[in-house]
Structure 1
Amino acid sequence: MAREPSVSDDEAIGDDGTDSTDDGSNDGLLNRRSYVKLAGVTTAAAAATLPGAASADEEYEAITARGQVITISQGETFENKLIDLTTGNTVTLLVEGGNSVIRNVGFEGLHRGSGFMISITAPSGNVLVENVYLGDGSTKEGGSHTHGPGAVFMHRNANCDVTFRHCNVQGYPNNGFYCSNTAYGGSARFESCYGKNNGVSTFRVAGGNDAIVDCVAYNDNTDYGPGWGGYVEDSGRPLWVWPGGTVSIENSEFAAGSYPYAAVMRGSGSARMTGGAIQGQVQGGGLQRSGVSSSADRSIPGGVPTSAREAATGESSDDSSPDEGTDDEELPHLLLFEGDDSGVSRYEFVVDGDVEPSTHDGATVDDETEIDDGTVHGVVADWKDAFRFDGDLETLTVDGPATAYLDGEEVDPDEYGEELPHALEVEGQGEPTSFEISVEGTIELDGEEDDETTTISGSTVQSSVTDETLTFRFSGAVTDVTILEGDAVVSVDGEEIDPDEYGDNELLPHAILIDGTGTDEPTSYSFTVSGHAVEATFADLTIDDEHVYEDGVVRGVVGDERDAYWFDGGFEDFRLLGDATVDVQYNARDQ
């Protein structure tokens, strides 16, 4: 018969869903007692003053663990660090601010300290944790908590959106990725991450915006060294979903190993899994499966570092990397887009030869990048995208703060083809027809035309036709075409398109604006509508297809700025904590 789980369901979790602490507070696992025990606090910007230095031939800085907390504040990047844990002490990376990055960091040696290695408390914004190695394991020798130390903890008061990409976490007694507090706000997204033998759980999630994509988690008999293992937390749930929302899981592999369950849905916890495999039992009835096999592939996903030094240097262990085996003579040119953390940039270029993605200079390969017969569309923020190609670069457009480099030299996109290379035509069919069209980049009415009924705001145009034809020039790709009433023929670069194939979101009728401008402190808010909600850009209220709330539940934080949403249905719940003002306009499109 199956043995009882080695880890209880309670896991010393308080009734509010956070870890209980000895002093009764709800500050989570990095509380006042933890701070007192640590030797000191520093910031990411000052980390270079810590013991250890980069050698002349190594592209990283060595940091010796001595119990310090390294604080990563708003907009900061902490990268290319090798953290030496062989001292028997610990280092905690405390992420206090959004729009921050941890990249190319390796923790070397069996950890014998206390607490969590990465602790996230950022109240808003995005956080990227990329190419991090925590794979040498941890013992319970130095930890005062019941379950010992853990790898990553996202606090309940964190309301940021965290992306974990290419992370390797193994052998931590108190969770690998402890992110179930997303039930209260924020989100956790895992891309090509690997974990095994983590006590309690490897992937611990809850929020409806959480996602696990191309990841692997399982348990085996790995021995990480003297002092490790032999306690109940040396193997836990590969996947543990807590109540909150429906978690999205794609093409991921989970295997039970020495723990009887490969996946556990706690209480009303739910997830929707497509592709991949679950090898072992599933506890709870909240898992929806489509195309999921029972034989898990336990190999390390491409791009995940397999050692601390590999992570610190930014090298990739991905044998299938697009740069592997590529002959520079066959694809001699390199086009690199270096993003900027001040905003997202969309780019497009066309070459008259072959093109493929590259990992040159630490660039990442994004599965969402579109490559079609020499034409490439992509998005870059605080990272790099790179491509190798042959032939000539015919056109290049960049919408946003990113910088483009061709063969190592910065280039001006305006020097390559037209600034707005595509033509969009809307041809009336004899009856009054209103339409709204959005593109990824910029759109303008053709320079030779003048139409007073046309309104253009950034990447969206609204207008009407009867029996005439309106022509627009634009960059990027068409993302949404909506014929509000009537009939029209829409063509892109001379080819007729079907408007029904563009855009997944109908034009919702009502608008809500949360205005935090002029306030001293951030305002948190949440609301539930009986229909759908979609995030919009303030002023022009254009739809953001990447932030759609099909369940009608929206949570956010607004500082000295404005957040806006389109929605349908009525309000079922609304909560506001702070001084922001709220304005609701029903049937706003008719005003």
Structure 2
Amino acid sequence: MKLAGATTAAAAMFATGSSADEDDYEVIEASGQTINVDNETFENKLIDVSNGNAITVSVGDDATIRNVGVSGLYQGDGFIFSIGGGGEVEFDNVYLGDGANKTGGDHAHGPGAVFYHRNASADVTFRRMNVQGYPNNGFYCSNSANGGAITWIDCYGKNNGVSTFRAASGEDSLHNCVAYNDDTDYSTDYGSWGGYTEDSGRPLWVHSPGGVVAEDCHFAAGSYPSAVLTHDGANATLDGGAISGGTSGAVDTSSAGSDPDLSVPDGVPTSPEEAVSGNEHGGSGSGDDEAVGNGDDEELPNALVFDGNETTNATRYEFEVAGDVEPSSGEDADIDGSLVHGVVADWSEPFRFDGDLEQLTLDGPATVSLDGDEIDPDDYGEEYPHTLEVEGEGEPTSFEVTVDGSIDLESSAAEDDETTTVSGSTVQSSVTDDTVTVEFSGALTDVTIIDGDATVRLDDDVIDSDDYGDHKLLPHALVIDGTEDDDPSEYTFTASGAVVESTYQDATIDDDDVIEAQSVTGDVDGHLDAYWFDGDIEDFTLVGNATVDIQYNVREQ
């Protein structure tokens, strides 16, 4: 799953370091106090509310709440966690699963778990949270419409009154989350709600104009009429996952199944003690990067994170380590032994590894951090770590080379050859009895021998050009021309067959354009983009006034 499919705030902060030992946490007895957390980390705390007293953790600017468990039935009137600051706020590995009861007071619905204030402006990420049995919402975050974005990742909610996930902003999103009602008798399991039953139980409630996407989430309404409800012009889309129960408002469930998996997501703590000890998936440490989704911190002690959160432009990356490497949450990277390459846009991709970071290249605006500290890729290895040689065999041979990264022509003779062009990540040239050499970063995605024969070597090893790219001599061309329009145009399309960026009709090849399988996203702003493709164009969307031209079998013309 792509974390935020991916979305702008779809990446939680990365936890580095080791988990807390069983006795390596502080016990806080509730006594009506307020604990202020501002520009700091509040972690490894067991909050004991079994004495019936209230407690408030006031979350300010750039705060992190990690490895925290609330033990006992909560009998206060307000919310335990109250978010009122700005910047980046993170919750990771937090247990609020012992529930609460309604005792009267200022809040009509009784106590709640997490509240996002109307005057808050923080971008908040909740990861691996367990929230159950709170009468006044599990996550009351519909005030995010006033500023900030909320992201839930691997969160679990059960039997929360009013709603479990209460969202608003068009930037809010949920990923691999579960919420449901099983008609629990609260007087037995969570204490009396004082007879309050109205509006109890929406798994997801979306307020105010703006769309919220729930990716791979599972919701069940129980006896409540709606598992997902939208309000005041809002809309919700379930992308994957499953839903049981009705919906109300603008809810798109066309991509969701009907048999939700209501088990606790991997890594979510199931007790206060498990949370404060930093369970096997739980985080502890600096919190400056994305959370570990899998892997063993002791076996793979180093954390490398590619962060594209600040921009929607794509960044291609490649790195090589001296030991083992595995992704922490992203699934899209290509890992070949200790060599990794991939693409990141408005999300983050974290990795764990051991040994030294030997090689790192970055093509695009993303940043990269190592064990919580931002690093300069130029400090690690060569700018162009790979070499490709095309050696002629005595007859004129044209070829085209494309990489998923940056490319540089090394052969000085070819630089002076009018038949040689270098555009973006593609080189087109010809050889007879000479050799053209290019250096590049990233992955070799295509070698096309257009006519004749040549010997091709990748990093000194002879390769078969047919093994690289399934788009050799793709027959059709798609051209998006923005040269006659003063304003930029954005486009997306999907082909039924392979697709590759091209310099056809002197088109540019842009690092910002993203190709994922047969789907392409890009833009033109005073220039022209072109693609070779096979099959048909199954879907095309254009925002702007660029012209679009599809030319079939153009290679034969």
Q: How high is the TM-score relative to the length of structure 1?
A: 0.57
Could you tell me how far 1:347 is from its partner in structure 2? 6.9
CA offset digits 1:533-558 (Å, max 9, x no partner):
99xxxxxx99598xxxx9xxxxxxxx
Residue 77 to residue 532, structure 1, CA distance change in 2 (3 Å): farther
Q: What is the DSSP-based 3-state SS (H/G/I as helix, E as strand, rest coil) of the residue aligned with 1:290?
A: coil
Partner of 1:430: none
Tell me how far 1:467 sits from its aligned partner. 6.0
Q: Secondary structure at the match of 1:311?
A: helix
Distance apart, 1:105 and its partner CA: 1.4
Partner of 1:402: 369
Aligned to 1:268: 233
Q: Contact (CA 8 Å) 2:300, 2:324: kept in 1 or not?
A: no
- Give 1:181 deviation, angstroms: 2.4
Contact 1:198/1:234, CA 8 A, preserved across alignment? no
Per the TM alignment, residue 301 of structure 1 is displaced from its structure 2 partner at its CA by 0.6
User: Which residues of structure 2 form unaligned runs of 5+?
Assistant: 1-19, 283-292, 391-401, 417-422, 446-456, 460-464, 475-479, 493-509, 515-520, 522-541, 546-557
Percentage of identical aligned residues: 45
Report what 2:223 is aligned to: 258
Q: Hey, what does 2:498 align to over in structure 1?
A: none
In the alignment, is the contact (CA less than 8 A) between 1:143 and 1:149 conserved in 2?
Answer: no
Does 2:64 align with 1:101? yes
Displacement of 1:126: 2.7
| Pairing partner for 1:120 from 79, 83, 90 | 83
**Structure 1 369/85 Cα, relative in aligned 2: closer, same or farther at 3 Å?**
farther
Instruction: Establish whether residue 194 from structure 1 lines up as the match of residue 156 from structure 2.
Output: yes
Is 1:214 matched with 2:176? yes
**3-state DSSP of counterpart to 2:135:** coil
**2-structure distance, mates of 1:544, 1:116:** 45
**Where does residue 254 of structure 2 map in the other structure?**
290
Measured after TM superposition, the shift of residue 293 of structure 1 is: 2.0
Matches of 1:477 and 1:93, distance apart in 2 = 48
Match of 1:111 in 2: 74
Residue type of the partner of 1:270?
Answer: N
Q: Structure 1 counterpart of 2:102, which letter?
A: K
Task: Determine if contact 1:370/1:376 at 8 Å carries over to the other structure.
Answer: yes
User: Which of residues 80, 87, 98 in structure 1 aligns to 2:51?
Assistant: 87
Distance 1:91 1:291, change over 3 A: same
Contact 1:377 1:477 in 2 (8 A): yes
Q: CA deviation at 1:176?
A: 0.9
Letter in 2 for 1:58: D
Structure 1 counterpart of 2:171, one-letter code:
N
Deviation of the 1:166 alpha carbon: 0.8
- Aligned match of 1:161 in 98, 116, 123? 123
Q: Trace 1:35-46 onto structure 2 (pairs within 5 A).
A: none
Structure (1 or 2) with the larger CA radius of gyration? 2
Deviations 1:484-523 (A, max 9, x none): xxxxxxx9988569799xxxxx89899xxxxxxxxxxxxx
Q: Cα RMSD (Å) of the superposition?
A: 5.5
Q: Which runs of 5+ in 1 are unaligned?
A: 1-54, 358-363, 406-410, 427-435, 453-460, 480-490, 501-505, 511-528, 535-540, 551-566, 571-591
The CA deviation at 1:138 is 1.4
> Is the 8 Å Cα contact of residues 103 and 130 (structure 1) preserved in structure 2?
yes
SS where residue 97 of structure 1 aligns? coil
Q: Does 1:279 align with 2:244?
A: yes
Q: CA deviation at 1:211?
A: 1.4
Out of 29, 32, 36, the residue aligned to residue 67 of structure 1 is: 32
Deviations along 1:107-164, one digit per CA (max 9) or x if unpaired, are 22111113222222334x3322111111111122164211112112223333332221
Q: Using the alignment, how far apart are the partners of 1:508 and 1:365 within structure 2?
A: 37
1:248: Cα distance to partner?
A: 1.0
Aligned match of 1:32: none
CA contact (8 A) 2:482 2:489 kept: no
Q: Is the contact made by 2:21 and 2:277 (CA closer than 8 Å) also made in structure 1?
A: no
Q: Which has the higher contact order (CA 8 A, sep 6+)?
A: 2
Contact 1:420/1:474 (8 A) holds in 2? yes
Secondary structure class of the residue paired with 1:182: helix
2-structure distance, mates of 1:145, 1:250: 32
Cα gap change, 1:473/1:104 in structure 2, threshold over 3 Å: closer, same or farther? farther
- Distance in 2, matches of 1:205 and 1:244, equals 11
Which amino acid in 1 is paired with 2:247? Answer: V
Report the alpha carbon displacement of residue 217 of structure 1 after superposing the two structures with TM: 0.4
The one-letter amino acid of 1:337's match is: A
- AA of the residue aligned to 2:234: G
CA distance 1:172–1:423, shift in 2 (3 Å): farther
Structural mapping, 1:9-88, within 5 Å:
58-74=23-39, 76-88=40-52
Q: Does 1:336 align with 2:299?
A: no
State how far apart, in whole Å, the 2-side matches of 1:315 and 1:262 are: 30
- Inter-CA distance 370–532: structure 2 relative to 1 (3 Å threshold): same
Deviation track 1:399-422 (CA, whole Å, cap 9, x = no partner) reads 6563369xxxxx999998645424
- The two structures have a TM-score, normalised by structure 2, of 0.60
